[in-house]
Chain A
């Protein structure tokens, strides 16, 4: 009952001018970012961050969250209409969405996407509201060893799930954790790796790492290729035809399966919208009622990835709000917004910032509705941004990267950091090192070290304490399993045969 009262107040607060304006801007910009192939969802949220500096915490987080939700839907237009996935998570939409459009039914394909995004959006926010408070009450009992175990799980699952190469993902994570050690350490007050350079003694702002690697790094990759994009024919085919409830009801099993996959992928750090989208499509192909027709342009192949990617948003927001642990690039930026406004997410947030949290929840409901209204009525002007020259868009992406990093502390040395991490981001892209583990390592590194050192000091360097406490032991075992399964599988299926070939 208390949750419902808070939520009603939250809805009232969403419609305050500053909040609703942030929401509207977030939905529109999120949609544009998702449509433009050169801009990723995370990049878009990163670039919006500096605009939130002068805002209050509530409109700031509303803006970024609205962009995040909308970003999981907007790319569907270009994937279905032009075979151009706006985001990696939109790739599975090509297999049935684009093929349905090729059969002369693009409006129907867009209608299924919209319906799926609407359903998943409302479901994920409802699930988030229901899960967050009990999870927070449970998390209040957590101590330093438990937090360390949870962070270790977050980092290992990012490595195990996301990387094209596990070794590269490990190195990326270690680079991030190392960056976090630069400067004066929190426990002993010792200066580390500053090499006498004053700007390093202050430590490296994780915002500069994020902005440089995600923003400037990605632009440099495309800059090297001369921003070549394929010409598009817009024609008069851009409209949406919603399915009837009877048609949608026939797909209820797909809706259920994909929703569960999306929510679970959201809760597991590192999995995120992209993996949810692929896994959901794969499950539908394996177990769906129309599995043999998947890939031929059927609604199940559109609904499954779209539901899963949108449903993952709520799952990601729970560990962010309740534990202060982001599981993806976009939630890492939202955590940045919280911290820049002096709010530390964690189990106490429901006591200390209840009004803000429930306004955020309510805003996510409204964002889903606004996103679908915008998607239905404004597709044509939205996809026209594809005509905008990428060289111009990218120039302003770089500028926003620099301004964003500078504006956080008004420190000119942060600009050098952005340039440095831009080059590092480019090298990471070039040599196929994933960026997300480095970013999460940089963000979670200080907390990981603090909780580890505190545990060691409190328990006389007895590392077995992590396996003596139920929560930390369970989570660490999960972390070991998360990492062990792909390693053992690859060792058995690939490494041993390769070693035998090498010897032969």
Chain B
């Protein structure tokens, strides 16, 4: 008999695989009084992962035997019932562009990665400008001004008002950041 996974089950299969892997990993959790009646530190995660496995198995199994998706909660039921009567709200949204998304995620990861190296000010200025540009806003001069002023405002607010020590960067970048601080009234 050919066993083919129904559409939409893949996400549950992935969650199931991760949950099973983690459940097996709970065997390595040590601690608690051995030999005592206590449940031990592995009990709670085992309970959570066990229930996750049960839910995933139920959903995958159910999808295999029927042509329907899972049941909805009360809010979704109420919303859909009301919208059937009153008309659904059409949300204005553009077409999904996975390439834009991937580049946005990479840009964000790069921002986190370079921030300790080049400092908050420079990395934030660059990130903001690129994010706005990649987000579809085309006015270059406005983007540059907004990025610069916004970055300086954030530095001022968080370092001068909220007293957060933002990363200054290493080497020459650190020196530039330190030189910039007095210009913003930060000592």
Contact = CB atoms under 8 A, between A and B. Distances in A.
Contacts of A282: 78, 81-82
Nearest to A494: B71
A177 B70 contact: no
B22 interface: yes
**Interface majority SS (helix, strand, loop, mixed), chain B:** helix
Nearest to A160: B73
**Is the interface on chain A under 10, 10 to 19, 20 to 34, or 35 or more residues?**
35 or more
B138 to A, nearest CB: 9
Contacts of B174: none
Contacts of B85: 285, 295
Interface stretch (A236-244, A352-360, A406-414): A406-414
Interface in A465-504: 486-487, 490-491, 494-495, 498-499, 501-503
Contacts of A133: none
B107 to A, nearest CB: 10
B22 to A, nearest CB: 7
B70 A174 contact: no
B12 interface: yes
Nearest to B45: A181
A402 interface: yes
A224 B67 contact: no
B166 interface: yes
Nearest to A50: B162
B146 A392 contact: yes
B13 to A, nearest CB: 12
A394 interface: yes
Given A94-B89, A456-B39, A415 B115 contact: yes
B74 A161 contact: yes
B71 A166 contact: yes
Interface string B49-76: 1011001101100100111111111111
Contacts, number: 254
A90 B164 CA distance: 36
A496 to B, nearest CB: 10
Interface stretch (A28-36, A63-71, A138-146, A189-197): A189-197
A174 B53 CA distance: 10
B184 interface: no
Contacts of B65: 499, 502-503
Given A228-B94, A494-B71, 18 more contacts: A83-B89, A159-B73, A161-B73, A167-B70, A187-B41, A191-B29, A223-B135, A224-B97, A224-B104, A225-B94, A399-B127, A410-B164, A422-B108, A434-B73, A487-B71, A495-B68, A495-B71, A502-B67
Interface of B: 11-12, 15, 22, 25-26, 29-32, 37-45, 48-49, 51-52, 55-56, 58-59, 62, 65-79, 81-82, 85-87, 89, 92-98, 100-101, 104-105, 108-109, 111-112, 115-116, 124, 127-128, 131-132, 134-137, 143, 146-147, 150, 154, 157-158, 161-167
Interface of A: 50-51, 53-54, 83-85, 91-92, 94-95, 159-171, 174-175, 177-178, 181, 185, 187-193, 216, 220, 222-230, 274-275, 278-279, 281-282, 285, 295, 389-392, 394-396, 398-399, 402-403, 406-407, 410, 412, 415-416, 418-419, 422-423, 426, 431, 434, 449, 452-453, 456-457, 460-461, 486-487, 490-491, 494-495, 498-499, 501-503
7 contacts: A161-B73, A185-B44, A224-B97, A228-B93, A391-B137, A490-B72, A499-B66
